[in-house]
Amino acid sequence: MKPKTKNQIRIVSLSEKLKPITYAQMEYGWYNCLGNHFYRSRKTLFCLECGHSWKNESLLITSVAGCECLECGKELKQSPNAYYNQVAYYGVITTFKDMQVVRIIYLQKHYKKGSPVAFTGLEVMQHWIDQDGNVTTMSRSVQGLSRYYDQWITSSELEVRPKQFANCPRYDIVPFKCYPERKILPLIKRNGFNGHFYDFAPHKLFKLLLSDPIVETLLKSKQISMMKYYKDSYQFEKYWPSVKICIRNGYIIKDGSIWCDYIDMLVNFGKDIRNSKYVCPDDLKKQHDKLLSKMMAIEKQKSLEAKRKSIDQAQEVYLDQKKQFFGLEFKEGNIKVKVLEHVREFMEESNELNHCLFSNNYHKKENALILSARINERPIETIEFSLKDLKIVQARGYGNKATEHHQAIINLVESNIHVISKMLK
Ligand SMILES: [Zn+2]
């Protein structure tokens, strides 16, 4: 895109004056960002670095242990392919005038069995960061229809990109390593930069250090985990007073997300989250888990109470509908069939026989009389009897199956239909 704003025009002109990446800088990337490989074909080993090959039958050379090339002396790791490209992103960090610059290079090693490896390197992006932390990116173009987000067009030029480029996945690329000789703006150093990026993309860390005093404070107080958590957190303000107490007490938060979870639970239990006794636990994980199980126990209790309440309410209706059948039971041999008299019994019957009597709300069915067939007080089958048609709808045992007593149970109920019909209102 053509530079439009004053700032974009300035950055394009600065970029033109920036010296190209040197060979030494490229070379450092090739040797430090990409590994060295060999390929095995039966008993022949091929060094993919220098092209040398040799016979070897040793079982000591494994994909884990790797080997050393007899020709170039490099330590090699096994590759499953004989022809391929290995790629990595690499950063060169410098300053130009009053700007911090992060240059992103796309490195490649082209392997071909039997030939020495070929290297290429292409500067694909430049992030320009001003003293206020505003980032302007120059980037080459990519193939639009590729399934890869970074299929760079080698022949394209570095062009200034609009602000929305920050939403593009290429903006998030974190270089695997950076060239050790770096130039850093004094302001960034003053704001706490100590040479480490802590898995942040360099331009993003610089931006945060220049524009966000919280990040500056977190970095200077070595609250790295919290700093990583902060960048993705939408409601950090509520933790900030507690974080400051940790900082004041020299307490390092080792796991930002667990600690924030823990603070949330402290709030739930009404604890003082400005008291170092609570916010600086010796064993964070242990205290977190302790509160968590306490909370889960309370939740369980709450849901039990809710269930009990709903059963009590359902029982009122059930009692009203079916109380004239209460006390009804028939016996034949050791089998007893009785009417369920409480909704709680529906739940117990369901649990015992592993069926859906309770969850499907059979106690609410106005025209159904639910009977339980038992031997020695243990439910064997549950019977649904239609009060409308005066007949058995179903009788089911464990897991909805019929038992060996099924027919006896049916016979017992059917021989007592006249008793049930007399009880109808
Ligand atoms: Zn070699």
* 174: containing domain: 6-178
CA–CA distance, 12 with 126 (Å, rounded to integer): 11
Structure tokens at 350: 């369901």
User: Do 105 and 89 contact (CB within 8 A), yes or no?
Assistant: yes
Last residue of a domain, one of 148, 178, 208: 178
Predicted TM-score (pTM) of the model is 0.76
In a domain, 297, yes or no: no
In a domain, 287, yes or no: no
Write down the H helix ranges in 253-375: 256-268, 276-279, 284-322, 343-353
The residue length of the chain stands at: 425
In a domain, 72, yes or no: yes
13 vs 41, more confident? 13
CA of 118 to the centre of ligand 1 (A): 13
CA of 72 to the centre of ligand 1 (A): 4
Structure tokens at 156: 């394209």
Helix axis angle, 202-211 to 213-220, nearest 10° = 110
In a domain, 27, yes or no: yes
For residue 413, the domain's CATH number is 3.40.630.30
User: Do 192 and 213 contact (CB within 8 A), yes or no?
Assistant: no
CA of 62 to the centre of ligand 1 (A): 17
Q: Average model confidence (pLDDT) for the chain? A: 94
Map tokens 């990519």 to a residue: 142
Does 174 share its domain with 232? no
CA of 38 to the centre of ligand 1 (A): 8
Strand 368-375 versus strand 335-339 pairing type: antiparallel
Does 10 share its domain with 157? yes
Given this model, what pLDDT does residue 274 score? 95
Does 40 share its domain with 119? yes
CA of 175 to the centre of ligand 1 (A): 27
Whether the per-residue pLDDT at 61 is higher than 70: the answer is: no
Does 15 share its domain with 140? yes
Last residue of a domain, one of 145, 178, 211: 178
Q: Which residues contact 134 (CB under 8 A, 6 or more apart)?
A: 7, 207, 211
Whether the per-residue pLDDT at 142 is higher than 90: the answer is: yes
In a domain, 163, yes or no: yes
Tell me the Ramachandran region of residue 422: left when phi exceeds 0, alpha when psi lies from -120 to 50, beta otherwise. Answer: alpha
In a domain, 162, yes or no: yes
Give the model's confidence band at 371: pLDDT under 50 very low, under 70 low, under 90 confident, else very high. very high
Given this model, what pLDDT does residue 1 score? 82
CA of 151 to the centre of ligand 1 (A): 30
Does 353 share its domain with 412? yes
Residue 420: Cβ within 10 Å count:
18
CA of 4 to the centre of ligand 1 (A): 51
Quick check: helix, strand or coil at residue 191? coil
CA atoms within 13 A on the CB side of 115: 10
Given this model, what pLDDT does residue 24 score? 97
Whether the per-residue pLDDT at 13 is higher than 90: the answer is: yes
Does 53 share its domain with 37? yes
**pLDDT tens, 258-307?**
999 999 999 999 999 999 999 999 999 999 999 999 999 999 999 999 99
Strand 177-178 versus strand 159-160 pairing type: unpaired
For the segment 98-121, the average pLDDT, to the nearest whole number, is 96
CA of 77 to the centre of ligand 1 (A): 12
Hey, which residues does 137 pair with through a beta bridge? 127
Give the model's confidence band at 420: pLDDT under 50 very low, under 70 low, under 90 confident, else very high. very high
CA of 37 to the centre of ligand 1 (A): 9
CA of 422 to the centre of ligand 1 (A): 99
Does 167 share its domain with 190? no
Does 18 share its domain with 146? yes
CA of 53 to the centre of ligand 1 (A): 8
CA of 49 to the centre of ligand 1 (A): 5
CA of 91 to the centre of ligand 1 (A): 27
Does 170 share its domain with 194? no
CA of 58 to the centre of ligand 1 (A): 18
In a domain, 17, yes or no: yes
Last residue of a domain, one of 178, 213, 230: 178
Given this model, what pLDDT does residue 184 score? 98
Given this model, what pLDDT does residue 185 score? 97
Does 169 share its domain with 193? no
In a domain, 296, yes or no: no
Q: What is the total count of domains within the chain? A: 3
Given this model, what pLDDT does residue 59 score? 67
Give the model's confidence band at 231: pLDDT under 50 very low, under 70 low, under 90 confident, else very high. confident
Does 196 share its domain with 157? no
Whether the per-residue pLDDT at 251 is higher than 80: the answer is: yes
Does 53 share its domain with 95? yes
CA of 313 to the centre of ligand 1 (A): 81
